[in-house]
Amino acid sequence: MESLLEGMAEYYSAELSEKVLRGLKENALKCKVNGGQCAFGYKVIAQKIHIDETTAPIVEEIFTSYAEGKNVKQIVDMLNERGVRTRFDKPMSINIIQYMLSNHKYIGEYRFRDVVVPNGAPAIIPEELFERVQERLRKNKKAPAHHKAENDYLLTTKLHCGKCGAYMIGESGTSRTMEVHRYYKCTNTKKRHTCDKKPVKKDWIKNIAIKIAVDALNDDKLIEQLVNRIYIMQSTGSSRVPRLQEQLKETETKIRNIITAIEQGIITDSTKDRLSELEARKKELGISILQEQIKKPFLTKEQILFG
């Protein structure tokens, strides 16, 4: 009898587990949240994922900062200096930011186990910006030795092997006479031993690169093309301003609706409080837009050329 009862208990336990998993998968197919912590920048309302207007701009700033050249440590320091905290009220860390930068949810992709639903969640980050970040993450993973031997190897991620096409990274060594030699070495030679490209002296290849750069800067036709491209990129690049302007427009619409209600005689304490909140939000958004415009002013072609 004891063995029979144990078998029945095991059967019901397995059946219950299967039913729970089936229910979770059905929720996932409907893009509902199955518990757990929501990603930074989002909030959960009635089991559905929604953008958190307070933290979503921070997520966009993180992606934009990384795409524009800041490293993860600089971003972490910037956020902690401003007092930005995680959902658990802890300081930001390198691991958290690295996880955020590779999280596909920020482009609207819902994931749960083997269920993947494109556009199953509201996107915070444009796909173009997300791809730029992923490309930089891949480059940094392939070429980690950007700073080595207390010396800047500025051509790392820019210099490619002429034989196999892999990245050339900075290396240094000390001779018997204790003289330090610095050079660039093919990653396939260093790690996989699949390329026989010999290292090249750092100063020699740097001087060649500088000469090519100077020659390019003296090419008026090339300069004109670069100025035009930079000018166009200003209007097409990702920015917080459009999102902030959209939020400002929504806030102004809500203010007009409340004023209309007041004109019709609908006046309560909660109406007055809500109007005050919206007016404060409108002022805050206006300041944020001005700060962004000051941070990234739109330059004319003449200003770009002069710079």
* Both tokens assigned to 187: 């990653």
| CATH class for the domain made up of 31-141 | alpha beta
- Please give the pLDDT value at position 298: 65
Going by pLDDT thresholds of 50, 70 and 90, the confidence category of residue 142 is low
Q: Note whether 184 and 155 are within 8 A (CB).
A: yes
Q: Report the SS3 class of residue 116.
A: strand
Which residues, listed in sequence order, are joined to residue 185 by a DSSP beta bridge?
A: 169
> What would the mean pLDDT of 248-255 be, rounded to a whole number?
91
- For residue 168, the cross-strand partners are 186
- For the entire predicted model, the pTM comes to 0.46
Going along 192-262, which residue ranges are E strands?
Answer: 200-201
Q: What average pLDDT is seen over the chain? A: 80
d(CA 24, CA 17): 11
Tell me: the pLDDT tens digits for 49-82? 888 888 889 999 999 999 988 899 999 999 999 8
Q: What angle do CA 209, 215, 221 make, to 5 degrees?
A: 130
